[in-house]
Amino acid sequence: MNGVFGGKRVLVTGGTGSLGKVLVRRLLSGKEGTPAKVVVFSRDEAKQHFMRLEFQDKLQATDEVIYNNFRRLLEFRIGDIRDFGSVVSALKDADIVINAAALKQVPSCEYFPGEAVHTNIGGAENLVRAIRELGVPVETVVGVSTDKACKPVNVMGMTKAIQERIFIAANILNPRTRFVCVRYGNVLASRGSVIPLFHRQIGQGGPVTITTSEMTRFLLPLERAVDTILAAIAEGKPGETYVPVVPSSRITDLAKAMIGSRPIEIQITGIRPGEKIHEILVSEEEGVRTYRRGEFLVIRPMLPELAEEFEVGALGKAFSSSEEVMDLAQTTILLQEQRLMPEQVIQLDGDLLR
């Protein structure tokens, strides 16, 4: 029963994504305490089906003779974060909620901004509203955000920025529940990230496409993303946002490292709609209320009701991927350590498996 999750019922919305899978595996490992139940809530029955088989070590669907979904430690629920009724049903008996449900593809959100609003903003509001109006005794809610929420220039970032504000403000009207956020940049090898794209392009003989040669990105391993969530749950105060301190690299160096000695061309295609050249995890304005806490930066909330404690030693500046950029050799070593070089991985169902 020890640890953050010992005996707790944990709900992971959007839990079939790359982050969700690694997070659920960590929860089931018992390293932070053995939970009483882990519920994966999402609207894609196919992803749930294959994830369930994967976690049961089943090779074929016919290997599972009896479903027994609700008798298992890991439970799957079909539902939509955009639907209030679905959210209410999923929240029942939950102690900890990790909201990873999102529309996160930058171009898709640019073309369908209304859909991004429904999921990224409406979904968060559904969680807060259900807890407030129905008195659901949830202890902690973690909102999973993105660097794009910091000084947003695209719809995805704008909706995530508002999601952060919804969760932060929820602490005032829902004082029995602690709402915290995590914010990080590009997650290595996650679905939709650049590394699976580069793997496919290299496997096809090229070219490897990059939008602009000046682009830099933070490189965050999936396990480190999970560490950030766990730290926020274990230590975060109401309204705080946890940011991992991680290295960054030029995307051109990332491509060169993965290509190696292969005769593959790098092609510059131009900036995509809503794309940033550099990632910013903490803005200058936020820097004055951002503090180092172990391996993380913590952004204190601006609302005076939540920021009464005074701290010294603020960061005092922005935290951007354009600073302290790794060179090609360092980037290569990082990819090798994470087993993400083309010769080290296989590809299955859109995820890189090591």
Helices (H), 174-214: 194-203
What is the model's pLDDT at position 210? 94
Evaluate if residue 350 carries a pLDDT over 80.
Answer: no
Higher pLDDT among residues 339 and 69, named by residue: 339
Q: What is the mean pLDDT of residues 157-173?
A: 97
Evaluate if residue 344 carries a pLDDT over 70.
Answer: yes
Task: Name beta bridge partners: 97.
Answer: 11, 141
Pick from 34-43, 49-58, 68-77, 79-88: least confident: 68-77
**Residue 339, number of CB atoms within 10 A of its CB:** 13
Higher pLDDT among residues 188 and 82, named by residue: 82
**The pair of three-digit structure tokens given for residue 327, joined into one six-digit string:** 């060179």
List all residues 6 or more positions away from 57 whose beta carbon is below 8 Å from its beta carbon: none
Which pLDDT band, with edges at 50, 70 and 90, does 272 fall under?
confident
Which pLDDT band, with edges at 50, 70 and 90, does 3 fall under?
confident
Dump pLDDT digits (tens) for 116-164: 999 999 999 999 999 999 999 999 999 999 999 999 999 999 999 999 9
List all residues 6 or more positions away from 238 whose beta carbon is below 8 Å from its beta carbon: 171, 178, 179, 180, 301, 306
**The pair of three-digit structure tokens given for residue 252, joined into one six-digit string:** 């051109």
d(CA 144, CA 136): 21
Dump pLDDT digits (tens) for 294-306: 999 999 999 999 9
Which pLDDT band, with edges at 50, 70 and 90, does 1 fall under?
low
CA dihedral 252, 255, 257, 262 (to 10 degrees): -120
The percent of residues in the chain predicted with pLDDT above 90, rounded, is 75
Pick from 116-120, 189-193, 335-339: least confident: 189-193
Q: Which of the residues are catalytic? A: 148
List all residues 6 or more positions away from 183 whose beta carbon is below 8 Å from its beta carbon: 145, 146, 147, 149, 150, 164, 241, 242, 243, 281, 299
**The pair of three-digit structure tokens given for residue 225, joined into one six-digit string:** 């993303």
Dump pLDDT digits (tens) for 13-59: 999 988 899 999 999 999 999 999 999 999 999 999 999 888 887 55
Report the mean per-residue pLDDT for the chain: 90
d(CA 101, CA 99): 6
Pick from 2-6, 10-14, 43-47, 175-179: least confident: 2-6
The CA-CA-CA angle for residues 314, 319, 324, to 5°, reads: 120
Beta-sheet strands, E only, within 93-234: 96-99, 140-146, 178-184, 208-210, 216-218
The CATH classification number of 9-353 equals: 3.40.50.720
What is the model's pLDDT at position 26? 94
What pairing do the DSSP bridges indicate for beta strands 216-218 and 208-210? unpaired
**Residue 86, number of CB atoms within 10 A of its CB:** 19
What is the model's pLDDT at position 70? 59
d(CA 150, CA 243): 12
What is the model's pLDDT at position 65? 45
Evaluate if residue 274 carries a pLDDT over 80.
Answer: no
Please state the pTM of the whole predicted model: 0.89
Which pLDDT band, with edges at 50, 70 and 90, does 348 fall under?
very low
Higher pLDDT among residues 111 and 64, named by residue: 111
Dump pLDDT digits (tens) for 213-252: 999 999 888 899 999 999 999 999 999 999 999 889 999 9
